[in-house]
Structure 1
């Protein structure tokens, strides 16, 4: 039973990935500084899987703490690295926080992995590296455009750091997973997306509006060159996304990777407009959503959805759950957390 470190393992995608890892029999160690998550998520993971993962509250910005962790857990066989700040708007307002939290921490973890005989590393990347792609759907060969935000830039720089390290570290094998838009929650409603303050993402804003926590949802722009005028994104169920991390890790552990740095897009391959997401929510929930059309938001690309053939064929993974599945689970989660 391999020991796997999941940094940011109490976050939205991290917690769902811990569940899938434990289902597959991995021993999981979670590092999280609880800056954007809750210790209660640990109880949710334990209730779903019947096993409590090892948890260490640790700030990866403290290099000495990272060094001490790897001295204690020198038998870690793989790392899935989620720990990072992730709000685009906040990154514009506070770029140095993002560069410290997203870049320094990555370097400190890689420095420790370099000391091991063999290291397997999964990086939480993003489709933001593509910007407004020249062609849709977006393949892994699409050019990486200048970042629209410090957050997006940290994902680009992060990939470059890993790639450069892999060039000179024969023992390091890494996969960067470029997510599109993760949504939904675990079917049990015991874990899900927990935004602190006003949600930055569409789906939690929808569910919070429907439950009465927010007065109204703003749809930013209805004059884009799309069928209904609203932006198009590839919304992938977080459970499908979590399973992809396990598949990618197993690929590295089994030495099936073709090079020691690989990149895969993770999406459904289908674009959905903002209004289509709202209609999906209304369909599965039976609620009528209070929304208004607002001016366009700076930095929003018109459309982004994944070409999934590489992940399907090479990684052996595909998304199974639908947008309706995701919206139903997100609504179930929203109602669950408001009942507590």
Structure 2
């Protein structure tokens, strides 16, 4: 039985899509996660589902990370040894319409976490960043040395600024940070108990595919088939969310092994290969035997032609690599969707 004063890993946004899967991976690796989540983009029943998957009681606080005093209570009550910071608004389109909401939430929440880490002498932070920091890369696969292009949305800019805040803080403190630049997380836990649950129409391809196959959407629109790719559709690097979750555990272990007082490194987290939109659609149909009505529409503003990761740095330094296939991720995502009926 885990004692209350056992060192904990604070997981902000721990009831969300990636956060919840990371909580499972943390417990499997022997860590004690403590969740902070305001459930604005998740559901409280995720906590019970996490306990069902892991067989462990999970400490959680219903709290907005903008609430500095509330967050301070968590640091005071729990013995925190590290933080994984997911909590952020993440809808690209909404960020364009409501930029101040995104700047205040995504940046102030990070600043609150950092100020309390400093006060309570917590060194290690894994930061949830994004491949959007690269924009349309000059070369593929894109590696961590690629220049960061001007952000195409306030959301993307908050990730760039968040990374810079951490670099600056690490230079003048004992903070140690890993910046994980995710590519395209998909899939769900194989139990079917947790997965991605978008509020309103999905912005991402795979949730739209599974909702269309389930009859919740009339049809899927493929945005353009005239790109300079083998089948004319955009190419992305789709990574299973369980593989992504395990990257956070490896990042945390990596930080704990660092001997220098300050450390800040960025790592790409993807599969190292790209799949086109039509490849994803055809794989889903083949693996699930489900009908999937789709149509070809015009290009969507802001979509880059192709982006996929070089993951050699993460494989070498974090001792991590993606293990699960596109087909497995799509089958797991479909199992999750079917569990919601």
Taking structure 2 as the reference length, the TM-score comes to 0.96
Q: For structure 1, which segment, 301-310 or 109-118, has the greater mean C-alpha deviation from structure 2 after superposition? A: 109-118
- Alignment partner of 1:282 out of 282, 285, 294: 285
Query: C-alpha separation between the residues in 2 aligned to 1:259 and 1:309?
Result: 23
The aligned residue for residue 120 of structure 2 is 116
Give the 3-state SS of the residue equivalent to 2:194 in structure 1.
Answer: coil
* Post-superposition CA distance 1:73-113 (Å, at most 9, x none): 2x200000000000100100111111111000000100111
1:99 aligns with 2:103: yes
**C-alpha displacement of 1:63:** 2.0
1:39 aligns with 2:44: yes
Query: C-alpha separation between the residues in 2 aligned to 1:66 and 1:147?
Result: 30
**Equivalent pair of 1:251/1:257 in contact (CA under 8 Å):** no
Q: CA RMSD in A?
A: 1.2
1:293 aligns with 2:296: yes
Query: C-alpha separation between the residues in 2 aligned to 1:328 and 1:334?
Result: 10
**C-alpha displacement of 1:322:** 0.2
Query: C-alpha separation between the residues in 1 aligned to 2:296 and 2:280?
Result: 14
**C-alpha displacement of 1:5:** 0.3
Flag the 1:105–1:135 CA change in 2: closer, same or farther, 3 A.
Answer: same
1:314 aligns with 2:317: yes
- The 5-angstrom pairing of residues 41-56 of structure 1 reads 41-56=46-61
Q: How many residues align?
A: 336
Q: Which runs of 4+ in 1 moved over 3 A?
A: 256-259
- The 5-angstrom pairing of residues 73-92 of structure 1 reads 73=78, 75-92=79-96
* Post-superposition CA distance 1:187-219 (Å, at most 9, x none): 000100011111111101000000100000011
The aligned residue for residue 166 of structure 1 is 170
The aligned residue for residue 28 of structure 1 is 33
Query: C-alpha separation between the residues in 2 aligned to 1:299 and 1:272?
Result: 19
The aligned residue for residue 185 of structure 1 is 188
**C-alpha displacement of 1:118:** 4.0
Query: C-alpha separation between the residues in 1 aligned to 2:220 and 2:152?
Result: 24
Query: C-alpha separation between the residues in 2 aligned to 1:44 and 1:272?
Result: 31
The aligned residue for residue 15 of structure 1 is 20
Structure 2 residue runs without a partner (length 5+): 1-5
The aligned residue for residue 241 of structure 1 is 244
Query: C-alpha separation between the residues in 1 aligned to 2:152 and 2:114?
Result: 26
- Alignment partner of 2:204 out of 178, 188, 201: 201
Query: C-alpha separation between the residues in 2 aligned to 1:137 and 1:27?
Result: 36
- The 5-angstrom pairing of residues 134-149 of structure 1 reads 134-149=138-153
**C-alpha displacement of 1:24:** 1.2
Query: C-alpha separation between the residues in 2 aligned to 1:16 and 1:278?
Result: 24
- Alignment partner of 2:71 out of 66, 70, 87: 66
